[in-house]
Structure 1
């Protein structure tokens, strides 16, 4: 046995039994995700050592008291942000207690009074908070930017003497949007496009339809709020104008909104018509308008369907309008958001020179706003593109930068779907499809109507050996964003090929204007499987011009099939197209 002085952190999950009873599999999956993405990395970053884990808790040893307190604060602050969009009855939250004392180490476990005190202090903590002992408080009171409230001496179970306890006053970031009605002279302080959804008008003459109309408006607000590249004015602010005849420009000025969404609902017989339009408040221009006609089979299903259609389309229309404005501005006058937007445009062109320009723009955005989580996420994405395509001089150093950017983005905003989307993509390219799936599922949960997340779900399913499901997801992404990047066709072509749908694969790749090796290789393999040697040979000849060193095995190494049968299927198609297998 070994005995030494150490800081002990005891953590316990609140409401574990209730959550497990309600949804055992889902609770375990969410807890595992929190461990992988947040808790274990925070412990490692602060030099902690996990000694013991139970189903709903853990004991962690730290050599430094300050490291233990920093770790607890980081976990609780970031968990609070993660839970912002989660219903109360599904939130995973922790209590944490920290003590400094004499610890006995024996057979990879720890014992002693120091451990017992930490566990009892944890039980006194608020859900989502943490408490520390007097010994811990004395060590950190003047060293950390964390306030403490004196709870005095407390009698705790199985400890003979009273324990002096202090409650940490950690930051509790609220939701990203203000819930107070806006005043006339207030403006949202944000570098993102600001959008207000006005209450939809009930044109049916049926007061009973008010619940549907208000519910539709609130659903659109909630779903748009998932898009972290937008700033959405709160419900309390926009619903002030319910039932009023208003001047839209005045409303936009009072709310500080660049864009307004307004609409109406009309019921007639067994049919329902919903109209919606997006307005640029600076010019009164109608950027986009749409009508949705539905039968009244299930009014709540209609509400979900219309909401999904609207929130899938609106962000793309806002971005297109912003890009139009951006084309008339010089880079030196761009704000942080506009730099991010311009960087995205360059990134989507998938060329080395465009990637370099995207890196410059995203760096400029972070110079303007170092705490812009979405910009950090996209810097990781843009660097990731250079890493995947080999456009960087030092692959290891670039990957370290990617990891750093995503870690910063996660610490600033755990609920940004882009962060998890990019982490999923990076792990696909590392052939770690299990971890990629965790992040992909998180991204989908955070924003199920984001075209880049939806198309990536289709791509991942193709790699995992489920291409027919992948095709459905990719086509859904194309429907969500009719102005989608060209690479969506590449994802669709790969999925059709894996599904043995060769004509459809060729057609998808033919939609692409770019002429890269991957495009020609899959077309050649498709023609090879169809037995068209002439067409297959023409594309193989083009590959040899583009890449004289091309080999089947080298090409397969750039792909990420989980099943060897899928890789062999592509290998066979390329061999039939006339490309010999490289000799060892």
Structure 2
């Protein structure tokens, strides 16, 4: 037990601090940990296993501390500080499928992390897991130790918390992250309104096929913080970041938003929206519709401007972006317009 406690303080705790993990509870010689992002969860897992491999280098097989790890992205039941539900159960069963010193992830995690960190995956197929009423597609994780080098401290301890993390690569289409809006009201209960607004904006932007939109779980890890936007872009692998604030005064509310280029820090668009709180849900719908209606064209314009330095046939690229922007309407008129634009040469 003393060695497990020492291992936790030297290896687990620094990794959790670096990637924003929350230690939910210890389970004998294991642990249940929650992350706001699948990328953070897998990065922390790889760094921890890498640190343990280094720490066990001089240990015999009988004295080495080795761990299996299972990761799943799914629904949870929150009970105070504890977590239950299908998400926990699947992760626990996947852990049992992992080799010693290895990591096994579910399909949902695989979809969220593929191409976003330095690792490769072997498809294990659909696994029949104990007490899980459906097959779960799983993947084993492989990585090159040279990609996750951990600097050695003055002793033999490896400190994962100071290991540099390479910026995530950008997707092959315009990418955007919507950060939690700041509640500027004196009323803390307006927090739910700000959070609901952001969730609806994320959902609406996700319907725009021309955009790669970061999931809520990843962006809400920045809630209550004032991060450097360029750092957010590197950590989430996005080119654009939308941030904003909500301010309530009496029966009225003001929403401000600004779109920022995460690589240069330049402001591409900003606006404010005012409305009455008589019907709060109708107001949310109106504001979300207006924000999304202005954000998508702003991103398209920024992409066209950026392409002037990279695309040989700028006119063709312009038609491509306009065609993708027309797709989400789904009406016959929208589809005909999209097809016409995408077939232009």
Question: TM-score band (shorter)?
Answer: 0.3 to 0.5
Higher strand share: 2
Q: Which of these two proteins has the greater Rg computed from alpha carbons?
A: 1
Q: Structure 1 length as normaliser, TM-score?
A: 0.29
Would you tell me which structure has more helix in proportion to its own residues? 1
Higher normalized contact order (CA 8 Å, seq sep 6+, divided by chain length):
2
